[in-house]
Structure 1
């Protein structure tokens, strides 16, 4: 049983490396964008856990920095969470 799982992991691992590289690049770009925009280090982690859409996170940064956009984003997040 354990050998079959290990064999499956070894067979699947080469296919996951390109996907991991893409996600890692997007996560680093998003973290750098949030950091240079003046947000705390925990804010991107919370937004990534709450917002399930990669491109929406990048849009939310500019919306949070605008006057009315921040209110809209918080209203959407409250609606999604509750």
Structure 2
């Protein structure tokens, strides 16, 4: 399976991939096999499983990406 850029996926789709990886791991599949099935690198699967072990399903939820609105701003909103 070709790897796709997960950043272009909807956050719900990203979460589903992570949950699928956890389910496959619980069935006894190896990270390399899971990675091939899900379409990511084996190290990515390892990171997901570590997050899951440390924080449960909540740790697999998609996070907000990018910098916070207004950070790095030179002018205040009133000055604009």
More helix by share: 1
TM range (shorter): 0.3 to 0.5
